[in-house]
Structure 1
């Protein structure tokens, strides 16, 4: 994705790293994120960390450096165009369209299915696909209900493929999925984005 998508990239990084709801990203302030050098510590109010994988921290810092000095509010996400940020904060509708913009860029089918909730679903799906236990997934996303969290595990196609391969052929080879490289360099960040839609309405 080119430089014109800098705000989209930062929203994608924070949204998936923290299993964020759209309104949590909209209301995120510059005071909610602490840059400790090797990572970002974010409170929304649950705490999550963004590490420097694929130059993610560089993208965040670049976006933050474009913040106009005269902005009176502390909302993190500002409208970004032609390499500059305005003082106007990004609203819920624009933030909610980030997944559909990414899906369109990747030429995925049913782009309209990729709503703001997809960031939260993607985060849970990535954890499930990595074999993370349900308690950790619940804690990460702030869910109290095991039923809700299990819904994300159950609907993970990649996880089901791993299980099928283990049962049928004794391997753990997973399905090939499309990824989005959020870095402006050639270092891949590989966020799985294909298996996350809102079709199951979790």
Structure 2
């Protein structure tokens, strides 16, 4: 449940209440990706076997569960509540032995999504559209100043302009970082 919640939360920049209320009918498996409508449409592709994790989680759902909510407890088959969903980032941070575990709240899923997009060079309009923010100020406030972003700025200051070599290095580093993160999530 934690892995699927993390995948959907970050790829869709979801609030925890949206994840809590997500139903099995809100997700369409089209083979090469998942299309989710909650009410913003977002797609999950098969990077790092994410679709396999989702399908495995869905296959573990007991057939006699009376509710349609996607996330349910394994023992009681009750729907997962908002407090459990909010704890997903802190559980992941704890398993990765990160400092200040209590700082990782449910909102980290939306912030992580926005930050990953900003680090990839996506414009603020696309980030706003993806997360459903109307205000540029709110969108910019939800983008963390990551070390990667600070490194890009430092390179721009020191070199004058971003060269294609710097962009390629940053993109390779980002891909490696995301793959390591996904592998850690899969292995949890």
Indicate the TM-score class for this superposition, using the shorter chain for normalisation: 0.7 to 0.9
Does the Cα contact within 8 Å between 2:115 and 2:144 map onto a contact in 1? no
Does the Cα contact within 8 Å between 1:19 and 1:124 map onto a contact in 2? yes
Instruction: Name which of structure 1's ranges 145-154 and 65-74 shifts more when overlaid on structure 2.
Output: 145-154
Runs of 4+ in 1 over 4 A off after TM superposition: 169-184
In structure 2, list runs of 5 or more residues that go unmatched: 175-186
1:168 has 2:158 as partner:
yes
Q: Secondary structure at the match of 2:36?
A: strand
Higher fraction of helix: 2
Match of 2:138 among 132, 148, 156: 148
Distance 2:170 2:77 in 1: 28
Does the Cα contact within 8 Å between 1:128 and 1:152 map onto a contact in 2? no
Structure 2 counterpart of 1:26: 20
**Structure 1 154/111 Cα, relative in aligned 2: closer, same or farther at 3 Å?**
closer
* TM-score, normalization by structure 2: 0.81
**Structure 1 173/67 Cα, relative in aligned 2: closer, same or farther at 3 Å?**
farther
Distance 2:21 2:79 in 1: 9
Shift of 1:53: 0.5
Structure 2 counterpart of 1:10: 4
- Once the two structures are superposed, what CA deviation does each residue of 1:39-60 show, in whole Å capped at 9, x if it has no partner? 0000010000000011000000
Shift of 1:151: 1.6
* TM-score, normalization by structure 1: 0.75
Shift of 1:167: 1.1
Distance 1:173 1:98 in 2: 38
Count residues with an aligned counterpart.
Answer: 172
In structure 1, list runs of 5 or more residues that go unmatched: 1-6, 78-85, 185-200
What's the C-alpha RMSD, in Å, of the aligned pairs?
5.5
Higher fraction of strand: 1
1:137 has 2:127 as partner:
yes
